[in-house]
């Protein structure tokens, strides 16, 4: 029996386990990437492991998420990142060089390799046929130390593309269509593998948009073949020697197949506050818009910039709209300047901002109170824009620009603009002077550590009996943005656990942190897909710092589940989901840790209601051992 693309890559990197769906496997990691918001914690943990140099083929530290440098904290973090990278064998991508996934696609992604990143959108690498996996910072730190990465063997779903996209219906709409069909939890423990005649109509950056935002389905990863389109991209990046073909075998067997006719897709829009609340643009046409944001790791390529520049020619941004553009990389910036694209953009009244993530993670350019913001970004979670009153809609760049011109949500096909076919350059402008390469003698480097950078907190082993109150009861699809807030006010706190812990669940219950401390910790109870979204490990570490030792949910998102293990929080799932209704905030629960081990079910006693609830752990016996020891760092030190 033949293999899928994903199976070929996983089998070539398999360290232990078998590729039986749902079974635990360990795979070798070729490359790692981090960014500044999650990278500081990752490198602090790498230092705690005690390694002198990174052990994988390539490690890159990107400074792209929080570039405001409003006070010393951002700047101190950036200096720490540059120093630790120089010392330990890591390449630094400096402030202004671009967004990690766009830059990595340009300069480092290689077909058939495995990339582990401390960012959930690392599957953008699938645009060139590389297996990109998002993870928490500790998992990335361990990969840099030479440890294999653990995950469950995912199902492989074939997404068969036919036809060709209409003018003004860009690749963003393909992944919005997928989200409309499968929802934000439909991809959990799955890899989406794209195939069919339609893939030849999509260039590498279009493919990367789709694999990037496949993350929003909860997918482990998404991937395209490495074909002649890929070869042309890598040739244009002067990296043709790193290209090789990679495709599924003709007799490969998939767990499921999804059919998408590109020609039938129309402009789509995701309504607040979830990426899967997708409807045709016609359902919300005419809604007044306050703000438009173009950019992010999903929509900041040269094709995106040239597309909006064409649409803005001899046009003006509507007086009621604030419009901003975040460019994906220095290369895209240079190419856009050379083509005169910024002339139309600036004349129209769009603010051209620096190459970084910016508004996507709430680091500036927030909408007004109760404002409507159209964004080409990846997520529209509650509060992610910088405050909970903002209403973010996700769209393709063509809808964003059309709406910026008219002041209301607008179908770009109705503006009478002549479409222009994008032609990728035969050779991109390559200027790598914004990379800092590491020292050959790391012992000579001293690391600057600002006062906001705190070492990983010491976590105690879990007790044999966990007994405490339910601190909060939450609904479905609770995101890491709900748990640890995004936004310019909070991003600098992520490297200071005691400080960020004060704001756990700040978006949904500002009293949570105080109540958790007063109670000495407790349980969290939630619905389906708890921990959806970002890979930020602070969404596990900060609650653990507050004393949370157990979370009972209907189900967990993949990356967050791994982060709970890493920081010693016991995840449990209801055997009967209806038992969720039998627990309320304030109830006092008891469970014996021993009852969880190697058991199909265990009993949580609700002392307040005098009833028992059946639960089980989604973890392996080794993962339960790690949790019992208080997290992976404790486990590694004890194992050594």
Per residue in 426-474, pLDDT tens?
999 999 999 999 988 877 888 999 888 888 888 999 999 999 999 999 9
SS3 label, residue 545: helix
Checking if the pLDDT of 10 tops 90, the result is yes
**Are the CB atoms for 265 and 278 separated by under 8 Å?**
no
For 117, the token pair is: 């990143």
Instruction: Determine the Cα–Cα distance for residues 545 and 537; give it in Å rounded to an integer.
Output: 12
pTM: 0.95
Distance between CA atoms of residues 485 and 340, nearest Å = 38
pLDDT at 343 over 70: yes
Token duo for residue 39: 């990278």
155/19 Cα distance (integer angstroms): 10
pLDDT of 640: 60
CATH numbers and ranges of domains, the chain? 5-264 (3.30.499.10), 268-414 (3.30.499.10), 465-639 (3.20.19.10)
Q: What is the mean pLDDT of residues 526-555?
A: 95
Coil vs helix vs strand at 175:
helix
Residue with tokens 């010491």: 458
In DSSP notation, 448-485 reads P--TT--PPPP-PPPPSEEEEEEEEE--SS-BHHHHS-
Q: Is the pLDDT of residue 598 over 80?
A: no
In this predicted structure, what is the pLDDT of residue 147? 95
Whole-number percent of the chain with pLDDT over 90: 85
pLDDT band at 356 (very low <50, low <70, confident <90, very high): confident
Q: How far apart (Å, rounded) are the C-alpha atoms in residues 189 and 122? A: 16
**CA-to-CA separations, 499 to 251, 356, 503, in angstroms, rounded:** 54, 25, 8
Per-residue pLDDT at 88: 95
Per cent of the chain over pLDDT 70 is 99
| 3-state secondary structure at position 414 | helix
Mean confidence (pLDDT) of the chain: 94
Q: Identify the pLDDT of residue 394.
A: 97
Beta strands across the sheet bearing 190-195: 221-223, 190-195, 155-162, 256-261
CA 232 to chain centre: 27
Contacts for 543 with CB less than 8 Å, ≥ 6 apart = 483, 501, 504, 516, 524, 569
Listed in sequence order, the residues at least 6 apart from 160 whose beta carbon sits closer than 8 Å to its beta carbon are 195, 196, 198, 257, 258, 259, 260
Using CA atoms, how far apart are residues 453 and 488, in angstroms rounded to an integer? 17
Number of alpha carbons in the 13 Å side-chain half-sphere of residue 89: 15
Q: What are the pLDDT digits (tens) for 545-588?
A: 999 999 999 999 999 999 999 999 999 999 999 999 999 999 99
Residue 627 reports pLDDT greater than 90? yes
Contact 212, 122 (CB under 8 A): no
Omega cis (within 30) before 270:
no
* Model pLDDT for residues 152-191, shown as the tens digit of each residue: 999 999 999 999 999 999 999 999 999 999 999 999 999 9
Q: Encode pLDDT of 285-325 as tens digits.
A: 999 999 999 999 999 999 999 999 999 999 999 999 999 99
At residue 637, the pLDDT reads 76
Measured on CA atoms in the order 199, 205, 206, 208, is the torsion positive or negative?
positive
Q: Is the pLDDT reported for residue 3 higher than 90? A: yes
Q: What mean pLDDT comes out for the span 323-344? A: 94
Mean predicted confidence (pLDDT) in 404-419: 96
- Comparing 381 with 288, the larger pLDDT belongs to 288
- Residue 520 main-chain phi, psi, to 5 deg: 70, 25
Per-residue b or e along 505-514, where b marks 16 or more CB atoms closer than 10 Å to that residue's CB? bbbbeeebbe
Residue indicated by tokens 């756990």: 504
Question: Which of 4, 6, 485 is closest to 219 using CA atoms?
Answer: 6
- Spatial contact of 136 and 118, defined as CB atoms under 8 Å apart: yes
Backbone CA torsion sign across 36, 41, 44, 49: negative
Q: What is the mean pLDDT of residues 130-156?
A: 96
Q: Residue 552 forms beta bridges with which residues?
A: 525, 572
Q: Residue 458 has what pLDDT?
A: 87
> How confident is the model over 83-136, as pLDDT tens digits?
999 999 999 999 999 999 999 999 999 999 999 999 999 999 999 999 999 999
Coil, helix or strand at residue 270 = strand
pLDDT of residue 599: 75
pLDDT one-digit tens code per residue, 60-81: 999 999 888 888 888 999 999 9
Which is higher by pLDDT, 366 or 206?
A: 206
In the predicted structure, residue 490 carries a pLDDT above the cut 90: no
| Per-residue model confidence (pLDDT) at position 49 | 87
């Amino acid at each position: 029996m033949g293999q899928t693309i994903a199976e070929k890559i996983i089998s070539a990197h398999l360290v232990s386990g078998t590729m039986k769906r749902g079974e635990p496997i360990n795979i070798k990691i070729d490359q790692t990437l981090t960014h500044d918001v999650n990278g500081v914690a990752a490198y602090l943990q790498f230092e705690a492991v005690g390694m002198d140099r990174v052990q994988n083929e390539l490690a890159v530290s990107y400074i792209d998420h929080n570039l405001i440098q409003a006070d010393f904290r951002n700047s101190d973090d950036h200096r720490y990142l540059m120093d630790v990278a120089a010392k330990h064998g890591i390449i630094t991508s400096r402030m202004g060089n671009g967004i990690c996934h766009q830059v990595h696609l340009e300069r480092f992604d290689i077909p058939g390799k495995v990339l582990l990143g401390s960012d959930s959108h690392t599957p953008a690498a699938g645009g060139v046929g590389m297996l990109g996996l998002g993870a928490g910072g500790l998992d990335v730190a361990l990969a840099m130390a030479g440890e294999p990465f653990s995950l469950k063997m995912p199902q492989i779903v074939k997404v068969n593309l036919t036809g060709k996209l209409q003018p003004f219906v860009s690749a963003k709409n393909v992944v919005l269509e997928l989200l409309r069909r499968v929802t934000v939890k439909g991809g959990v423990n799955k890899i989406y593998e794209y195939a069919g005649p339609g893939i030849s109509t999509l260039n590498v950056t279009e493919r990367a948009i789709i694999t990037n935002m496949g993350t929003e389905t909860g997918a482990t990863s998404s991937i395209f073949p490495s074909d002649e389109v890929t070869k042309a991209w890598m040739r244009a990046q002067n990296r043709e020697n790193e290209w090789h073909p990679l495709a599924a075998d003709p007799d490969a067997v998939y767990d499921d197949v999804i059919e998408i006719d590109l020609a039938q897709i129309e402009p789509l829009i995701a309504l607040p506050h979830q990426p899967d609340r997708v409807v045709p643009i016609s359902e919300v046409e005419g809604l007044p818009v306050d703000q438009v944001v173009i950019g992010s790791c999903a929509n900041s390529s040269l094709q995106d910039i040239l597309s909006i520049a064409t649409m803005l020619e001899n046009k003006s941004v509507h007086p009621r709209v604030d419009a901003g553009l975040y460019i994906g990389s220095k290369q895209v910036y240079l190419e856009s300047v050379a083509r005169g694209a910024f002339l139309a953009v600036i004349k129209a009244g769009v603010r051209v901002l620096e190459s970084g993530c910016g508004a996507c993670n709430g680091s500036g350019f927030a909408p007004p109170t109760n404002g409507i913001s159209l964004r080409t970004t990846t997520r529209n979670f509650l509060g992610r824009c910088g405050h909970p009153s903002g209403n973010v809609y996700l769209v393709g760049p063509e809808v964003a620009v059309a709406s910026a011109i008219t002041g209301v949500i607008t179908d770009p096909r109705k503006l009478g603009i002549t479409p222009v076919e994008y032609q990728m350059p035969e050779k991109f402008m390559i200027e790598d002077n914004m990379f800092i390469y590491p020292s050959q003698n790391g012992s000579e480097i001293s690391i600057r550590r600002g006062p906001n950078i705190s070492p990983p907190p010491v976590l105690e082993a879990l007790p044999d009996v966990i007994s405490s109150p339910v601190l909060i009861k939450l609904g479905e699809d609770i995101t890491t943005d709900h748990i640890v807030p995004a936004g310019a006010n909070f991003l600098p706190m992520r490297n200071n656990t005691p400080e960020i812990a004060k704001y756990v669940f700040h978006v949904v219950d500002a009293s949570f942190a105080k109540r958790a401390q007063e109670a000495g910790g407790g349980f969290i109870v939630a619905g389906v897909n708890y921990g959806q979204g970002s890979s930020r490990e602070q969404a596990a570490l900060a609650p653990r710092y507050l004393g949370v030792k157990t979370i009972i949910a209907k189900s967990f998102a993949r990356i967050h589940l791994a982060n709970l293990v890493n920081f010693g929080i016991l995840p449990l799932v209801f055997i009967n989901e209806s038992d969720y209704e039998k627990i309320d905030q304030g109830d006092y629960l008891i469970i014996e840790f021993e009852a969880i081990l190697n058991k199909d079910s265990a009993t949580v006693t609700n002392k307040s209601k005098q009833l028992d609830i059946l639960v089980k752990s989604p973890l392996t016996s080794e993962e339960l051992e790690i949790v019992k020891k208080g997290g992976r760092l404790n486990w590694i030190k004890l194992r050594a």
